[in-house]
Structure 1
Amino acid sequence: MKMLLAALVGTTLLSGAAHAATAPIRPDQQAFRALYKELIETNTTLSAGSCTAAAAKMAVRLKAAGFPDDRLITYATPEHPKDGGLVAILPGTSKALKPLLLLAHIDVVEAHREDWVRDPFTLIEEDGYFYGRGTVDDKAQAAIWTDIMVRFAQDKYRPKRTIKLALTCGEETSGAFNGAEWLAANKRDLIDAAYALNEGGGGRSNGTPIAKGGKLEVQTLQVGEKAYQDFTLTATNPGGHSSQPVRENAIYDLSEALLKIRDFTFPVEFNETTRIFFTKVGTARGDAVGKAMLALVANPQDKAALGVVSQDKMLNSMLHTSCVGTMVNAGHALNALPQRATANVNCRMFPGRTSEETQALLAAAIGNPAITIEARIKDKPIAKAPPLDPAITGPVEKLVAKHFPGVPFLPTMLTGATDGVYLEAVGIPTYGVPGYWLDPDGNGLHGLNERIEVASLYQGRDYLTDLVKALAN
């Protein structure tokens, strides 16, 4: 997003953020930091961690704040004892208004100490950043949501809407036990809500810390996301001795299939969110890419405009379903012709598109019926974009103007995927909220030395506190 966001109008220095980063932290921020530290330092990787333990620690904090036991529901299945989570419920005063759900996953991507500069499971504050696995994805949001519920209970705050918190596991590993999916399928009443607030939105800086004169370029509300699906491609052959090769070869057949997928472009599509995004950004840019963006909005079949826009990988991904080869495995011996070759093709399906139609388009692109294609996850939910509801977008944008004056605000579609797909599947519109911001390099998400700017975390927390209050009333 770096090139796109740098072209937006109105890049603005947040003078208040610079002060917040250097001033002593407030007592409420100190309490939040302790909660955040405990969550970061509880390992929740799939290989060696426990979401159940992390959820239990958050439940202890909520109970100490005044939540009764019947409003704190911890859960785990016998088959997945370490993949549990927590639902907390703060009753509202209105019986007419449906609840507001705060969703965050507490599992994290694997992190090995020998690869990191710092211990990934120790919260380290250094040069204006917090370092550690999950400092952004997604324990920043999990800690903020939990902290909001703690403070509301301590203050005996009674919103009109009931507010629910769901901390879940399994978002980071496709095919693992997924708490959001399990709750939606088995405990729908626990998370029933008018809508949910989730990860997927947020801000982007110009890469310089705010305390050192950096600028915040944009804040976004994620309205819709793609659906994640992996397909296994398989080519088979009788094989034989490598000293007598023949043209028919499972590796060659699979390679040709992958190259055809590389060269295949799924049809261009727009929904309400991406149409607004392309129109606003295209107008703001005014350059060749901006003009091409506007041309595509006017005519999605404009191949010349697509050729220009597709040079930006993020913009290109927003326009259609995308599929890419990510893993291959072939052969059984160094001196034998391969009998089998397989590849994983990872697809991110545009909202509304199914695994079946995506698979059919892949098969047509490959054009070789001998190559089998199988979806790795059956019955994958269809991604559904929630409505651009003014009752939600209005308060979101108004508070962006208050907390981040002069910073552009945009609705956007996430080209990745979150647990929101499981809530949307059961009728709970889910939005990725603005608030804390990242640097253009992505801050080490899913990679090494994950970090978040200290000012970003604290100011994002203040924004989200006001947003929850506004939407809950």
Structure 2
Amino acid sequence: MRRATTAFCLPLALSAVSFAQTSAAAAPRLPEQDAKLAREIFQQLIEINTTDSVGNVTTAANAMQKRLLDAGFPAADAVVLGPNARKGNLVARYRGRPGSKLKPVLIIAHLDVVEASRSDWTTDPFQFVEKDGYFYGRGTQDIKEADASLIESFIRMRREGFVPDRDIILALTADEEGGKSNGVEWLIANHRDLVDAEFVLNPDAGGPEQEKGRAVNIGVEASEKLYADYVVSAANPGGHSSLPRPDNAIYHVADALGRLEKTTFPLETNEVTRAYFAASAKLQTGQLAEDLKAVSGPTPDAAAAARLSKDITYNSLLHTTCVATMMNAGHAPNALPNAASANVNCRIEPGHSQEEIRLELVKIFADPTLKVQYMNDAREIFDHGSDRKSMAPPPLLPAVFEPLKVVVNQMWPGIPVIPRMETGASDSIYTMAAGIPSYGFSGMGVDRDDDRAHGRDERIRVVDYFTGVEFQYLYLKALTSR
């Protein structure tokens, strides 16, 4: 794949025309001026490296701040602040009707992205490439597409003179994907007054679930799994490779990971996943519909769950999952390793703590010579995990869901809005812990079989991006126009 294509250099009007002609949505055509702006912002964000290792989130925050200031937002309503020079967070406030008694709505979206190696990608992950109907680049699915649509919506609404019925606060933040300076956590701890709200919207979850480009439902994150990293390690005296020892540290760790690979955690459902399976069953046919219905009751059918678990998405909804993601061992090709370690990443079903799963891993590995330790987001290692568990689902507030259903029916007539459990993890853990009900959804659709977030050649379909841009604008206006 080439770094740039002819389509990449065409006028932006082409993207707007493509949106109008090919989108499965029934939304009004995205105006050319707004399509152009949305594409420019998206490209600018993709081409700012915001990885934890060598990137700079503050650079992206400053760039978005400048766009808001250039659009006429007062300096006091678009500020960048953070714990250090690289981890700045943009907090922008769109002022509502004077005298309104309604508390603000807070929207959180992270600016940082997962690491990406150029050698792994067909394209440069930090160059915005449009090819064959897709935008490529690190963050196109997670979640710079949402960042760009939110900034575009703020600018578009201000240009039109729109006055919402409450303040809308936007926080574009650092270190959701890892690092020592999570922006949402830091803002709540240090500047609660800037981000305090009645409820939170988080586009880092939910949204259109698509099959071959067609949206079949709109998922809304109402719960999420708990994230945890564990380090499994072995150590021995090492020595010369011509005198192999039976207690090779690499073999010890590899054997343990082999046992993990063959282990399935217990089948579990909760009120959110049961509702999701019940609603999804109505959208399917044949054995799949029967199996989805069979796991939607208080006692899920084990045989149906086993069939569903062959699909990685359903498997992650039905089980805690733990998988090896990194290994480190050895110091020379002609020497026995005196140490070996691996990172095991777990996504834990609600109701279980990080320490509980650490102890489960100890049982699975069944090797007393191994250490199994918990590692936090700052990569600090502890002998015990925390006792924190996933938060209980928030109430389904009419203020959030009534306008959502209106806009969904306008853009995707007839498809249902379904509460769901996020199988990853998001910054909603911090806002929920702060007592602010939080909901995850956006208008950016991705096919179930093309989820490339955190992976190589991350991409989003051009039509899906512009559909999501229009959804964001329409929903913010519907949300604050009662």
Query: 2:142 is matched with which residue: 123, 137, 157?
Result: 137
CA distance in 2, matches of 1:191, 1:68: 17
CA distance in 2, matches of 1:330, 1:114: 22
CA distance in 1, matches of 2:117, 2:421: 32
- Report how far residue 331 of structure 1 moved: 3.8
- Report how far residue 267 of structure 1 moved: 2.7
Residues 21 and 455 in structure 1, CA contact (< 8 A), matched pair in contact too: no
Residues 305 and 318 in structure 2, CA contact (< 8 A), matched pair in contact too: no
Q: Give CA-to-partner distance per residue, 1:374-421, whole Å, 9 cap, x none.
A: 111067764325325051233323321111113343222221122222
- Report how far residue 277 of structure 1 moved: 0.8
Residues 237 and 338 in structure 2, CA contact (< 8 A), matched pair in contact too: yes
2:214 is aligned with what amino acid? K
Residue matched to 2:13:
none
Q: Give the alignment's TM-score, normalised by structure 1.
A: 0.85
5+ residue gaps in structure 2? 1-19
Query: 1:421 is matched with which residue: 423, 429, 438?
Result: 429
Residue matched to 1:3:
none
CA distance in 1, matches of 2:125, 2:245: 50
Residue matched to 1:189:
193
Q: Secondary structure at the match of 1:353?
A: coil
Residues 100 and 196 in structure 1, CA contact (< 8 A), matched pair in contact too: yes
Query: 2:174 is matched with which residue: 166, 169, 176?
Result: 169
- Report how far residue 30 of structure 1 moved: 2.5
CA distance in 2, matches of 1:471, 1:429: 16
Residue matched to 1:150:
155
Q: Give CA-to-partner distance per residue, 1:256-296, whole Å, 9 cap, x none.
A: 32233223332332222211111122344343343333333
The 10-residue stretch of structure 1 (456-465 or 256-265) with the greater mean CA deviation from structure 2: 256-265
CA distance in 1, matches of 2:78, 2:306: 53
Residue matched to 2:16:
none
Query: 1:42 is matched with which residue: 41, 45, 48?
Result: 48
The 10-residue stretch of structure 1 (235-244 or 389-398) with the greater mean CA deviation from structure 2: 235-244
2:76 corresponds to 1:70: yes
CA distance in 1, matches of 2:344, 2:100: 47
CA distance in 1, matches of 2:170, 2:30: 30
CA distance in 2, matches of 1:279, 1:396: 21
CA distance in 1, matches of 2:103, 2:336: 62
Cα separation, partners in 2 of 1:191 and 1:448, compared to 1, 3 Å: same
Between Structure 1 and Structure 2, how many residues are aligned?
A: 451
Residue matched to 1:229:
228
Q: Give the alignment's TM-score, normalised by structure 2.
A: 0.83
2:224 is aligned with what amino acid? E
CA distance in 2, matches of 1:23, 1:302: 45
CA distance in 2, matches of 1:244, 1:111: 39
Residues 102 and 164 in structure 1, CA contact (< 8 A), matched pair in contact too: yes
Q: Give CA-to-partner distance per residue, 1:186-223, whole Å, 9 cap, x none.
A: 2222221222212211224443xxxxxx5333332222
Residue matched to 1:386:
393
Residue matched to 1:311:
310
2:278 corresponds to 1:279: yes
CA distance in 2, matches of 1:241, 1:306: 49
Residue matched to 2:457:
449
CA distance in 2, matches of 1:243, 1:289: 55
Residues 106 and 200 in structure 2, CA contact (< 8 A), matched pair in contact too: yes
Residue matched to 1:211:
none
Percent sequence identity is 41
Residue matched to 2:109:
104
Residue matched to 2:14:
none
2:437 corresponds to 1:433: no
* Runs of 4+ residues deviating >6 angstroms: 18-24
5+ residue gaps in structure 1? 1-13, 208-213
Residue matched to 1:411:
419
CA distance in 1, matches of 2:45, 2:450: 21
Residues 269 and 300 in structure 2, CA contact (< 8 A), matched pair in contact too: no
Residue matched to 1:7:
none
